[in-house]
Structure 1
């Protein structure tokens, strides 16, 4: 049974939840995507019950601090386990080519040499290009440039072992140039910064983000049967699920998920 493990659901400046990041558990192993903005990722992985022994692949979508800085802590933790003989195999981090050296540099500035010496030995930074196809956890994974307006950013489509495809759009609005990668997917993971009714308060468009209405209209138009909304403001965190679901139902008639941190969503039976 494949599962989507929601580690964080908030935007960059959230304080009531963790920054948006997630893991896919295929049964064979765990694929981590992004790591939030700090060592809170360690607490989230622990609370989710994700054993590092099952974590050998990680995707980093882009350079923004709320997605990138937690990578340092994941590297440190796994390097510590490697050095103590408690981690078998290698750990691979996939990102666009322009992000390889920044990740290496940030780790170099903040971690001791005993940890960073494992780069290119057992910890690998793997550059990916638009349209690249790799096999992660036995699953076909296609990376694509989301054509970000702020910084280079890649999404991906992951073919689930059971059936269906899951597509991560990153944290910016959908670009029609990505349709070949998104069309026909069974699960769409989309940012939704705020309610459309609160767009004047949160100004999502100025931040290059979508509203619930925008994301739901997109999924409806593309015929996506399952939609997950996150990377949101957190001022309405306690009521967010009810509020976002109510607005989303007006525009989208598939299965809508507005998860809280540490929720688990079944991707197949």
Structure 2
């Protein structure tokens, strides 16, 4: 299995793409979020992942830097279903608010002949807090992260062989996530900026974490591998070096600060 980071940045970045990624198990792919536009198509192409091979998509929440790329994929999938160049069916999973927005946008923005494939071959499925679903052959549990900004779900994936992956979305860890995050093999957590630059980027005003915060959390939860994403981009050239240097003071597991298109073996 592998994790391909299509984007690693927060909402207003221009030096990288918004945070979204693909979890792959052989030829099966789960796309998580789509970033803020059709750059998701370019990132998939650069990563060597054919968007026509996507059958399962999960959207964490309604913010435009996560949602709008999904609208582009809906357009491409429906168009190619109509043309006979997309085989089979596809499913987008999200909580009720996101599904309603995607359904409304599809009906408003897509051509009627393409929107006709919604609920026929492109399924929009509402998931609930604590619900289990099998995705790319693995048990996945969705959970509400108790966001104070917009309703948002994370997920826990059973990787097999007593290994697990937990995605906490793009907001700081909440104690209600402990059953899913504690002791996880892989923890995906946002880190808006360096702790020493909090006075510059004001992460707490935006309800985000610093590198120090995320690393202290992973240390406390006994996480084996920590992946930091959803960052600022002013330090992009030295982001990995700077974030790793700060984070390693607080976390003694395997700390990863990926760039866009990096591939991580799970």
What TM-score, normalized to structure 2? 0.98
1:69 alignment partner, SS class: helix
Q: What is the SS of the residue equivalent to 2:151? A: coil
Matches within 5 A, 1:148-227: 148-161=147-160, 164-227=163-226
* CA deviation after TM superposition for structure 1 residue 15, in Å: 0.5
Count, aligned residues: 266
Q: Which residue of 2 aligns with 1:13?
A: 12
The answer to whether the aligner puts 1:82 opposite 2:81 as a matched pair is yes
User: Which deviations, in whole Å up to 9, do the C-alpha atoms of 1:150-192 show, x marking residues without a partner?
Assistant: 0100000011246511110000000001111112211000000
Alignment of 1:19-58 (within 5 A): 19-58=18-57
CA contact (8 A) 1:9 1:20 kept: yes
- Native 8 Å contact 1:76 1:111 kept in 2: yes
What is aligned with 1:262? 261
1:102: which partner in 2? Answer: 101
Q: Name 1:65's counterpart in structure 2.
A: 64
Note if contact 1:52-1:87 (Cα within 8 Å) is conserved in structure 2. no
3-state DSSP of counterpart to 2:123: strand
Residue pair 2:90, 2:122 contacting (<8 A) in 1 also: yes
Counterpart contact for 1:26–1:160, Cα < 8 Å? no
TM-score w.r.t. length of structure 1: 0.97
| RMSD of aligned Cα (Å) | 1.0
SS in 2 for 1:157: strand
- Number of the residue aligned with 2:240: 241
Per-residue displacement from partner, 1:49-82 (whole Å, max 9, x unpaired)? Answer: 1123421000000000000011111111112221
Unaligned runs of 5+ in 2: none
CA contact under 8 A between 2:183 and 2:224: conserved in structure 1? no
CA distance in 2, matches of 1:163, 1:125: 31
> Match for residue 132 of structure 2?
133
Query: What CA distance in whole angstroms lies between the structure 1 residues aligned with 2:129 and 2:183?
Result: 19
Q: Deviations over 1:214-238 (max 9, x none)?
A: 0000000001000000100001111
Q: What secondary structure is seen at the aligned counterpart in 1 of 2:124? A: strand
For the residue of structure 1 that corresponds to 2:36, the secondary structure is coil
